[in-house]
Structure 1
């Protein structure tokens, strides 16, 4: 079974994600809506993979993946360990660029633009496609500065205080930390730290939010809070979440992608149908616990 290699530390990845792109050279268009909460009139695909293959050296991690991920919906990515779930997630914002042996073939479109085109700045891409990692990784800074950091390094210095408070509110954290924003983010509970990381990710107002098992290290109460938050965030963002918890996928997602061993996308569709009446026998066997 192909194991997905670890990239550099998540803190370094977050630094890179928040770095300032060169103005006018990122090859991407800017988001025009702002915290609108307005749902799209149809399932317009904001992300699309076309014949996507990923290799780590000679080992193939994803093979011939074709998928269209709808805008402002929650899409869950499930499958057994080593099936390519996290590899697929890291393809979307080019985090796989940080793995020396990684090679990507095919296309991955964001708003109709192939993110692997030569004129796309991967740092600018990560500004538009935020990411939350499996383990909470707040910076050794105050709660306020954790959220403000992403804004300041991008030169978004207007109304920082307002944007920090709004991000904390959207992450369902403001009521719990208001009045102590100068305290270290490391002093928060695990669930609060993860919501702080979510606030940091959404403060620059990305279009897409990637989540790599964001609740796997949390207790049931904190997990429930994260799940409620994800459903609320889908009013403003496209959310793609990798999870090993199939019950979680069934609870919170609109669409589900099932990857199986070998990096194959075995099935994709409405979550209710996937769990109640999958087309593939292998998918049914996985969902019912016969393997994986």
Structure 2
């Protein structure tokens, strides 16, 4: 399948009311394990998980290291003929166009692009963030993938912004060429409420990505589908679950309790 056809198929998976579900991966092991699940429709990386797998914090993950991990996942995505989206942080400044070319060369058809600087956590102005989206879109067009999917993340709620601020930013990002908007609520804020998801979904005509919490008590995939969301992801939570399970087994082993 030609790369832009794969990008088109990735776009088609975003259906309001029947959301694309992404269990974010971070290395070859998790990518192959998730890709092997029959209901898996696409792969997506988690930047914070990729960083943690390298012993780094997200702000110290340089572009080359991030894309090295992406290259491994991309090989598996090709094996399973699955679309791949790379979490690209804030785009690495002046390296944005170069990074886009490398991302497309490795076979990915989507990115997450943040509106807060990965290194400093400083929130970009709306104009600057929208300009970076336009740069990414132009780079994808010049690389022959006009249907490349930019999932524009806004961190405004984590910086004291309101839902109205998130809507203003999201609409600007869609106008700039983003295909989806990802509004991050943040753990300190307690995530995003049902009412807020409804407001965001209506404002973006369903072109909304919501992070689903694996712990009980939060909004479920069924809840979000009923609201009309088009994309759900779990970010670094897969890594958290895996690490916890590994610690439990290792502790039992190191106590001499395993046979």
| Interval of TM-score (by shorter of Structure 1 and Structure 2) | 0.3 to 0.5
TM-score, normalised via structure 2 length: 0.39
TM-score, normalised via structure 1 length: 0.36
The answer to which structure has the higher helix fraction is 2
The answer to which structure has the higher strand fraction is 1
Report 1 or 2 for greater relative contact order, CA contacts < 8 Å, sequence distance ≥ 6: 1
